[in-house]
Homo-oligomer: A and B are copies of this chain.
Amino acid sequence: MSRQGLKTYIHDKPPSAISYACVGGKKEGEGPKRKYFDKISDDPYFTTDSFEKAESEMQKQAIMITLRKAGLKPCDIDYILGGDLLNQCVGTSYSTRDIDIPFLGIYGACSTMAEGLLISSLLLSGGVGRLALAVTSSHFCTAERQYRFPLEYGCQRTPTAQWTATAAGAVLLSAAGNAPYIRGATIGNIVDLGVTDANNMGAAMAPAACDTIKSFFNDTKMKPSDFDLIVTGDLGFVGSKILYQLTSLEGINIRPNHKDCGLMIYDREAQDVHAGGSGCGCAASMLSGYFLPKLQSGRLNNILFVATGALMSPTINQQGESIPSVAHAVWISHSKGV
């Protein structure tokens, strides 16, 4: 592959997303994207006895459905890249401990699916193995009690708060395959403009999204209109508006073809999710359930998938620190390019 600029890598031989799946919870099944999930569980425990174990079970189901769709077994896969929002990423390590695939843990908060696709596509493209799986998840009940308040407390949420999706997504990449193709990726920098409100993740993450989008277009000399869609992960209503302002200041107009996964997964008014959805599983499920099938069939030609993550912990936030964020961009296309 060739280095196209400071942070962006374009594949000479683009790896292919040969299989993908997503699993969601009850609220996600009541939303406008219900039919795009491979499986919906009305049981928040996913038949386990804790929410943390439920998240692992949900993620495991996404992995197994992805493998089944491809007609492959775990031993066929060279490595798996995964992570989640839980302390020490236990959603992922407990989901994958029974699956016989070499494991690389990653942490990018809600940018995890983009980071997983980025690293695995660059590894495959460099000749490291033939098949790699990227996976992530989030669960409303695990995230809420870990990051904010006990669920039983029934705390009132602020207007800028987002609703952590109960969802998992998995994508299987192959060094050789058919559409959709991973054409390139931009590794994001950590950006922190000083936002300290843990109930306004959109505002904290929008500057990272802007920085990475700007890098991608600078590095590739492409423009937003070269894409059917620029898809951000989980900026929600507040963060998306800030992203429009920030990109405008950089002379980039993404407004005509922008979609945010946090504004897609729920009906914001009817489902009372305030500023929208969030969580690793939000962008991962919308990508694997909604966008990748359209990129496979050719109903979409080109998207830039920019998932964003807020990299704080409650501990450091309570020490008065602001919230650093990161965004990674992945260019996914129906065509293989030259």
Contact = CB atoms under 8 A, between A and B. Distances in A.
Given A88-B313, A104-B106, A190-B103, A94 B126 contact: no
A316 interface: yes
Nearest to A95: B190
A258 to B, nearest CB: 23
A102 B189 contact: yes
Given A103-B187, A105-B326, A187-B103, A87 B87 contact: yes
Contacts of A90: 311-313, 315-316
Contacts of A93: 190, 311-312, 324, 326
A137 B126 CA distance: 29
Interface string A81-105: 0010111111001101100111111
A52 interface: yes
Nearest to A93: B311
Interface stretch (A117-125, A236-244, A271-279): A117-125
A33 interface: no
A337 interface: no
A1 interface: yes
A187 B326 contact: no
B187 A324 contact: no
Nearest to A56: B316
Nearest to A103: B190
Interface residues of A, number: 58
A312 to B, nearest CB: 7
Interface of A: 1, 3, 6-7, 9, 49-50, 52-53, 79, 83, 85-90, 93-94, 96-97, 100-109, 115, 118-119, 122-123, 125-129, 146, 187-192, 311-316, 319, 321, 324, 326
A3 B123 CA distance: 12
Given A104-B115, A106-B106, A311-B93, A319 B52 contact: yes
Contacts of A191: 97
23 contacts: A7-B79, A7-B102, A9-B128, A52-B319, A83-B107, A85-B88, A89-B311, A90-B311, A93-B324, A97-B191, A97-B311, A102-B187, A104-B106, A104-B108, A104-B115, A104-B119, A105-B115, A105-B311, A122-B123, A126-B126, A126-B127, A126-B128, A146-B315
A106 B107 contact: yes
Contact of A88 (B97, B105, B109): B109
Nearest to A316: B90
A97 B1 contact: no
Contacts of A1: 126-128
Contact of A107 (B50, B89, B189, B314): B89
